[in-house]
């Protein structure tokens, strides 16, 4: 059963959306990933990976903090969607690995498509 935590004290996300919000979000995610890798006792490569649950017009995002037991930190970027407990409590490490595998597959297709694009 996955446990979900709010970001640690001092790691809250505060974004000025009138400026380069994408860079601010990416910087925050990098900072949170670094925190996870420095403070976990897990040696699994999945630490720091973001798991997404579709919500509304986007997704609720969670970063893997510990793998045994599975613990994730809510990533409050964008609309800061947060999935209800019944959607997160059954998430397993296998689910996260499957999503990473799918994401990598899609990225490969996108790279392949860019290489084969021609101007008509």
* pLDDT tens digits, one per residue of 5-63: 999 999 889 888 888 999 999 999 999 999 999 999 999 999 999 999 999 899 999 99
Record the pTM.
Answer: 0.87
The Cα angle at residue 43 between residues 107 and 30, in degrees rounded to 5: 50
| Residue range of the domain that includes 94 | 3-116
Find the distance separating the first CA and the last CA of the chain, reported in whole Å. 52
Return the pLDDT at 22: 92
Is-contact 69 44, C-beta < 8 A?
Answer: no
Closest by CA position to 39, among listed 48, 49, 26: 48
Q: How many domains in the chain?
A: 1
Return the pLDDT at 117: 62
- Alpha carbons within 13 angstroms on the beta-carbon side of residue 113 total 6
DSSP structure class, residue 12: -
């Amino acid at each position: 059963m996955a446990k979900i935590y709010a970001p640690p004290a001092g790691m809250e996300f505060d974004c000025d959306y009138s400026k380069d919000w994408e860079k601010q979000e990416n910087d925050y995610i990098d900072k949170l990933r670094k925190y996870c890798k420095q403070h976990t006792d897990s040696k699994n490569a999945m630490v720091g990976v973001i798991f997404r649950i579709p919500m509304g017009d986007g997704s609720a995002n969670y970063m893997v903090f510990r793998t045994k037991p599975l613990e994730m930190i809510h990533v409050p970027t964008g609309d800061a969607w947060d999935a209800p407990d019944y959607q997160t409590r059954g998430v397993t490490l296998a689910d996260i690995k499957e999503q990473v595998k799918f994401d990598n597959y899609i990225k490969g297709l996108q790279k392949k498509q860019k290489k084969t694009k021609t101007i008509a």
